[in-house]
Structure formats: structure tokens, C-alpha cells
Amino acid sequence: MRLDFVWLRDHCRSASCYNTKTKQRSLDTASVDLAIRPQAVRVDETTLFLTWPDGHVTRYGLEWLVRNSYEGQKQQVMHPRILWNAEIYRQAQVPSIDCRSFLETDEGLKEFMQNFLLYGIAFVENVSPTKEDTKILAERISIIRETIYGRMWYFTSDFSRGDTAYTKLALDRHTDTTYFQEPCGIQVFHCLKHEGTGGRTLLVDGFHAAEQVLRQAPEHFELLARVPLKHEYVENVGGCHNHMVGVGPVLNVYPWNNELYLIRYNNYDRAVFNTVPHDVVRRWYHAHRALTAELRRPDNELWVKLKPGKVLFVDNWRVLHGREAFTGYRQLCGCYLTRDDVLNTARLLGLQA
């Protein structure tokens, strides 16, 4: 490990520098001399001791330094996951969680959260097919995120909103709210009624597809992670008037370990592509085509039929969803959840998130 002296002074966990009750820094970082060097350094089998020019002593456990050093973080995965195609997911036989267990026991909730964190999708069964009961379910793990669509929404093919989703047409795979500066983290779907045919839901692990691109053509992955795009939503239907714009690359990675944490993919809502010079444009289209080809591979497509009583939670930062065309009357309800609160619930259950 290589550790900077300013960093070592800044992260001191002594009582005068760090409040152990609130888990917050007390030291004023701007007061640290940027040329600071310790007067004395000593290390034993478990601890590093530094004595600073003003006599202050900092103690670090070596295990803490390993976990929190740049070298340690570079080797760690922030979010453990199982990447999947349709066959991998089916063979895993990931169980749905019973509604009562989900709502009333920490064991049921923890099993659900573990499934969701690993695969990016999770199901709860035996839910009363009402908007009110779906809301109770969602609020078990998070605050509902209010958006331009409200908090809980009903979803039919009446074209009540200026979006293709409010029709009976097929929808290609995509992530939602790419036109938000921070796309919604989790989406909840509950089919309350369907009197007709078709309408299966398509699910694709975007991280699995991106991993294939990284292996086959790392230059494509790098470009998709570097080039920012604009997405926009323009709506003038009835009393709904909105113009939302979000900016960000298709792939978003942590720079220290190149771990993918968000995919922003929606060809319906992608705005005019004018964020790169001419010599990059064609290369970006080649990279986008490579990712699209992976996302559209039939063996990556998981098709599920949503039915009343079975609620689907989707990680909108990872798993793309779509829909086949349908006939008849089909009514869904659902909502978006705040990602921070979902991950907070997972961590309080002892899970890595």
C-alpha cells in the first residue's frame, strides 16, 4: 500500500478528529498542512502509529488500511452480482417470496433483497391485486419516488400520457427515465387485470450484455462509458406538459475498479446525438451497435407473463425491460422506488449493497 501523509492525517479516527457516535469527521481538512509529515512512525503486527509535528498521535489498524486503501478498493467489488442470460436465470431457480413472509418477517425480506441484489429482479407472490396493496408492498423496502407520473400509477393502453408504453404496441428493451439526471433506481410492476392475449414482459440483464462487449471489444465498452448522451421526454397531452432532459453515458462505471453500476439505454428517448466531435461519431455508433446486438441476442431474453398477485421488482439501473404487443384490456399499476432507500434497507439487513 502507498498512503499519502495528508490522507493519513485527514482520516485519523481519534476522539478529537472523528465522532464515533455520529460516524462523522470532526477534523477540519482545510486546516491540515498539505506538506505535513509525521515526526515518528511505528508499526507492530496489527497497528500503524504516526506522531504528527503538533504531538497528535494517529493509530490505524492494518486491516482497516487494507480495506480502505486505493489498492484494497481496486480489488473489491462494490456490489456482488450474478450476471445472467435466460438459461442461467432459469437454472438458478430463484424463488419468489410469499407476500406475508415479505411483509411480516425479516427472513423473508432478506431473502427477497438478496435475490434482488444478485440478479436485479425479484418477485413477490400472493399479493392482493389492488393498487393499495401494491403500495404497501413497495413501501416495505423504500420510500416511493414521486415523479411526473405521480407516486403510484395505473397503466393502460388509453394513451393518457405521451409515451409509447401507454399503447398496445410492443416495446423494445430499454431502461426507464433516462431523461432524468438521475434515472429512477427501481421499478415495480403489478398486472391487475388482462383480458386478452400477448403482453409478456421481456427482461434482459444489461450488465451481462455489457460484460460480453467488454470481453470482445474493450474499446467499445470504453467509448460507451466515456461519451455523454442526452435523453429527453417531451409531453403535451391533455393537462400534462413536460420537457425533461437527462445527460450521461450509456455505461457508468466506478473509475477505480471499472465496475459497472448503471446502464442508461433507451433508443426511444435518446435525443439528438451532438456531444462528440465528428471523428468520434461513427466509432460510437459501432460501439452502440455491438451492445445492442448483445442485448438482442435471443438467449439473453427472459420472457415472463405478469399475472394478478405476482409483483415484479426491477433494478432500472441494470435490467432492461420490454413488452410484446397485446390484445384486449390490460391494466398494470406500479411505482418507482428511491435507490438509496432500497440499498439502505439491504445494508440494515446485513447485506453488501
DSSP, res 31: G
The residue extents of the domains of the chain are 5-75, 86-348
pTM: 0.90
> How confident is the model at residue 238, as a pLDDT?
84
| Mean pLDDT confidence for 102-127 | 98
pLDDT confidence of residue 77:
85
Least confident of 150-159, 230-239, 281-290: 150-159
Q: Each residue of 153-174: pLDDT tens digit?
A: 987 765 454 555 667 788 999 9
* 5-75 and 86-348 agree in CATH topology: no
Find the helix or strand (DSSP H, E) in which 335 lies: strand 329-337
Q: How far apart are CA 286 and CA 284, in angstroms?
A: 5
Give yes or no for a contact between 338 and 187, defined as CB atoms under 8 angstroms apart. no
Q: What is the reported pLDDT for 164?
A: 58
Question: Which one is predicted more confidently, 82 or 197?
Answer: 82
Question: Is the Cβ–Cβ distance between 224 and 250 less than 8 Å?
Answer: yes
Mean pLDDT along residues 5-23? 96
Q: How far apart are CA 58 and CA 50, in angstroms?
A: 5
Buried b (16+ CB within 10 A) or exposed e, 247-277: ebbbbebeeeeeebebbbbbeebbbeeeeee
Looking at the chain, list the stretches that DSSP marks H as alpha helix, in order from N- to C-terminal side: 5-10, 62-68, 70-75, 86-92, 99-104, 106-119, 131-138, 206-216, 218-226, 278-295, 339-348
Among 53, 58, 69, smallest CA distance to 16 is for 58
Does the pLDDT value for residue 195 go beyond 70?
yes
Alpha helices in 120-178 (DSSP H): 131-138
**pLDDT the model gives residue 251:** 98
- List, as one string, the DSSP characters of 230-286: EEEEEEEETTEEEEEEEEEESEEEETTTTEEEEE---TTTB----SS-HHHHHHHHH
| Cβ-Cβ contacts under 8 Å for 115 (sequence gap 6 or more) | 94, 95, 97, 121, 122
The per-residue pLDDT for 161 is 47
For the range 239-245, what are the long-range contacts, defined as Cβ-Cβ under 8 Å and sequence gap of 24 or more?
A: 240/148, 240/161, 240/162, 242/148, 244/148, 244/179, 244/180, 245/179, 245/271
- The 10 Å Cβ neighbour count of residue 28 is 9
Taking residue 339's Cβ as centre, other Cβ atoms within 10 Å add up to: 20
Work out the average pLDDT over 55-62.
97
CATH class (in words) of the domain with range 86-348: alpha beta
pLDDT classification of 52: cutoffs 50, 70, 90: very high
Q: According to the model, what pLDDT value does residue 166 have? A: 64
Q: Is the pLDDT of residue 272 over 60?
A: yes
Angle between helices 339-348 and 106-119 (to 10 degrees): 120
Q: Please give the pLDDT value at position 76.
A: 82
Strand ranges across the sheet with 47-51:
40-43, 47-51, 57-61
Cell of 293: 446486438
Pairing of strands 97-98, 121-125: parallel
pLDDT the model gives residue 202: 97
Query: Is residue 117 within 8 Å of residue 346, measured between CB atoms?
Result: yes
Q: How many CA atoms lie within 13 A of 173 on its CB side?
A: 25
Instruction: With H, G, I as helix, E, B as strand and everything else as coil, classify residue 191.
Output: strand
Residue 72 has pLDDT above 90, yes or no: no
pLDDT given for residue 192 in this prediction: 95
CATH number of 5-75: 3.30.2020.30
Distances in whole angstroms, Cα of residue 158 to Cα of each of 165, 166, 169, 329, 334: 10, 6, 12, 10, 17
Say what the pLDDT of residue 277 is. 94
Q: What rounded mean pLDDT belongs to the chain?
A: 94
Let me know: does 242 contact 235? Beta carbons within 8 Å: yes
Element (H, E) at 314: strand 311-315
